[in-house]
Chain A
Amino acid sequence: MITDNMGAKDLPIGGNILEDGNSELFNTGEWRNKKPVHLDDKCKHCMLCVMPCPDNAIIHDEYDKMLGFDYNKCKGCGVCAKVCPFKAIEMKDE
C-alpha cells in the first residue's frame, strides 16, 4: 500500500502499483469546478444519466432510484445534466 509520506527507498520502484482496484483511491472530484445538483422533484428516475457518466459517479439503488452524486469521483463534466430529458440536474459553480 502506497502512502503519502513514503520515501524513495520504500516506494515500489519505477512507479509500479502493486495492488488492484486502486483507481477508487484516486479522488478525481478534486478537479471539479462545476457541480451537478440533483433536483429530486423533477427527477423521473429514468436512469438515462447513469450510463454516460465517465466516472461512475451517479449513485443509484438497486431498484433503479437515482440518489445523487459521488462528489469524490464526479469531475463536473456536465454530461449528466446535458442528457437528462427532464432538466433534473443543474450545474452550479463550486
Chain B
Amino acid sequence: MIRERLSGNEAVAVAMRQINPDVVPAYPITPSTEVPQYFSSFMANGSVDTEFIPVESEHSAMSACIGASAAGARVMSATSSQGLSLMYEMLYIASGMRLPIVLTCVNRAVSAPINIHNDHSDSMGVRDCGFIQLYCESNQEAYDNLIMAVKIAEKAMLPVMVCFDGFITSHSVENIELLEDDIVKQFVGKYEPEHYLLNPNEFISMGPLDLQNYFFEHRKQLADAMKDSKRIIEEVSEEYAKISKRKYNLIENYRMDDSKIAMVVLNSTAGTAKEVVDKLRDEGIKVGLVKPRTFRPVPVKELVESLKDMKAIAIMDKADSINGFCGPLYSEITSALYSEGLNIPTVNYIYGLGGRDVKTSDIEDVFRSLLKIAKDGKKSQTTYYLGVRE
C-alpha cells in the first residue's frame, strides 16, 4: 500500500497507468482535461505502452474507443459535460455492441448558459445510454472504482462510466491509499474477449443492420446484462476488498441503523452531508444517509431495504430533469419505493447546479424540514430548489 496526496484527476490517471490499457483516445475538456494530460506524461515517460490517440472531438474519441474495443483492445477515456453530450450518439453504440469501454466522467454542468463547474447534468443526461454508472464521493473512491470498473465492464460486457464531481473532487488534493502497480495489474489481469475483430481464427461481423426480427431481442440482452451487472459489481467489489481492505457495496448506508429520517445523495455532497448527520446525531437526532454508488443499474432492492422504515426522506438531485416535476434520482427512487408498496413522505431537492456551493448549513436545513415532515406525516410540496434566489 502506498500513501499519497493526489487530486481526483491525478488519482484516476495513476490508476490508468497501473492498468496500462491498450488504447486511450481522448479529447480535452474542463474539468477532466488533466486525466489525459497526466496520462500522456506517463506515456512520454515510457511508464505505459498504451496507444494514445489525440482525436479531434469527443464524438471521435468515443468512436475510436468503439473501434479499438471491437478490435479486441482494453480501452479507456475521460470526458465531461459538453464532451459527454457530443459522445451521446456513440455511447449507445458502445453499449449496444456490448463493448467494455471504461469512461471517466468528471461531472460538470451542461450549457447554456456556459458553466464549467460541477453538477450532474452530464451523466444524468445520458443515464439511459446503457453504460453502468458508478458515482464516487472522494478521490479514493474515484481511484478504487476506476480499477474495479475495468473488471466489471469486461465481465458484464457493458461499458462503465465512473463519475465524480468536477473541481470538488477532480482538482482537490486529498490523502489517498494506492495499491502497488503489480497488485493492480494482477487484479485486472489480461483482457481476453470472447469475440473480437482482430482474431485471425474467427469470422465476425460487428454492428450490422438489425431490423424488426432481431433488434428487440438484442435490446433485451442489453437489459438483462444491466440487471445481471449488479451481481458482477458485487463480486468484483468483494474481490477488490481482499486486495485493498476497502469494501464497496451498491449503496452506502451511513448511520442508518436506528434512523427514521434519511437523505439520499450522490458523490461529494455525501461527504458534506455525513458531517451534518454526525452533528445532528450528537444532538440526539436520529438521521442517516444513503449514498448510491450505482445509478445504473438502479440498486432497487438495496434502496428499498434501507429506506422502507423511514418516516421522511429527502432525495437530492444535482441535476434537473426539466420535466415540471422533479429530478432524475427522485423519480427513480420514489418509483422503486412505490413499486414495493411503500408510500413514505419523500421530498426532492434540486441543489448545487452549476457549482453553487452547498454548505453544511444548507444540508442541516433539509434535515430539519424532514423532522417536521416526519412529525406531521405529510409534506406541503414535493420539489424544492435548495438556496436558489426567487
- B202 contacts across to A, CB distance below 8 A: 18
- B213 contacts across to A, CB distance below 8 A: 4
Please name the residue on chain A nearest to B207 by beta carbon. Answer: A15
- Closest Cβ of chain A: how far from B84's Cβ, in Å? 22
A1 located at the interface, meaning its Cβ lies under 8 Å from any Cβ of chain B in the complex: no
- A12 contacts across to B, CB distance below 8 A: 195
A18 to B97, CA, bound (A): 14
Q: Is the CB of A14 within 8 A of B205?
A: no
B221 located at the interface, meaning its Cβ lies under 8 Å from any Cβ of chain A in the complex: yes
Please name the residue on chain B nearest to A23 by beta carbon. Answer: B205
- B98 contacts across to A, CB distance below 8 A: 13-14
Q: Is the CB of A6 within 8 A of B203?
A: no
Describe A's contact surface by its main secondary structure. Answer: loop
A8 to B220, CA, bound (A): 6
Chain B CB within 10 Å — which of A14, A17, A19, A20 has the most? A14
Q: Which of A1-50 contact B (CB under 8 A)?
A: 2, 4, 6-8, 11-22
- Closest Cβ of chain A: how far from B108's Cβ, in Å? 30
Option from B96, B220, B224 in Cβ contact (under 8 Å) with A14: B96
- A17 contacts across to B, CB distance below 8 A: 204-205, 208
Binary CB contact string for chain B from 209 to 246 against chain A (1 if under 8 A, 0 otherwise): 01001100110110011000000000000000000000
- B208 contacts across to A, CB distance below 8 A: 15, 17
Q: Is the CB of B221 within 8 A of A20?
A: no
- Known contacts A4-B213, A18-B195: does B203 contact A13 (CB below 8 Å)? no
Q: Is the CB of A15 within 8 A of B96?
A: yes
Q: Is the CB of A8 within 8 A of B195?
A: no
A36 to B184, CA, bound (A): 64
Please name the residue on chain B nearest to A12 by beta carbon. Answer: B195
B206 located at the interface, meaning its Cβ lies under 8 Å from any Cβ of chain A in the complex: yes
A63 to B81, CA, bound (A): 63
A65 to B218, CA, bound (A): 45
B157 located at the interface, meaning its Cβ lies under 8 Å from any Cβ of chain A in the complex: yes
A59 to B99, CA, bound (A): 41
Q: Is the CB of A20 within 8 A of B203?
A: yes
- Known contacts A16-B195, A18-B195: does B217 contact A11 (CB below 8 Å)? yes
- Known contacts A6-B217, A8-B224: does B203 contact A15 (CB below 8 Å)? no
- B206 contacts across to A, CB distance below 8 A: 14-16
Q: Is the CB of A16 within 8 A of B204?
A: yes
Please name the residue on chain A nearest to B210 by beta carbon. Answer: A15
Please name the residue on chain B nearest to A11 by beta carbon. Answer: B217
Option from A7, A8, A14, A21 in Cβ contact (under 8 Å) with B97: A14
Q: Is the CB of B221 within 8 A of A13?
A: yes
- Closest Cβ of chain A: how far from B162's Cβ, in Å? 22
- B217 contacts across to A, CB distance below 8 A: 6-8, 11
Q: Is the CB of B205 within 8 A of A8?
A: no
11 residue pairs from A and B, CB less than 8 Å apart: A2-B214, A7-B217, A11-B214, A11-B218, A13-B98, A13-B221, A14-B98, A14-B218, A15-B207, A16-B206, A21-B203
B interface residues, Cβ below 8 angstroms from A? 96-99, 157, 195, 202-208, 210, 213-214, 217-218, 220-221, 224-225
Further contacts, 20 of them, CB under 8 A, given A15-B207, A17-B205: A2-B214, A6-B217, A7-B217, A8-B220, A8-B221, A11-B214, A13-B157, A13-B225, A14-B96, A14-B157, A14-B218, A14-B221, A15-B97, A15-B206, A15-B208, A16-B205, A16-B206, A18-B202, A18-B203, A21-B203
Can you list the 10 inter-chain pairs with the closest CB atoms, starting with the nearest? A20-B203, A14-B98, A8-B220, A17-B205, A8-B217, A15-B210, A14-B97, A8-B221, A15-B218, A13-B98
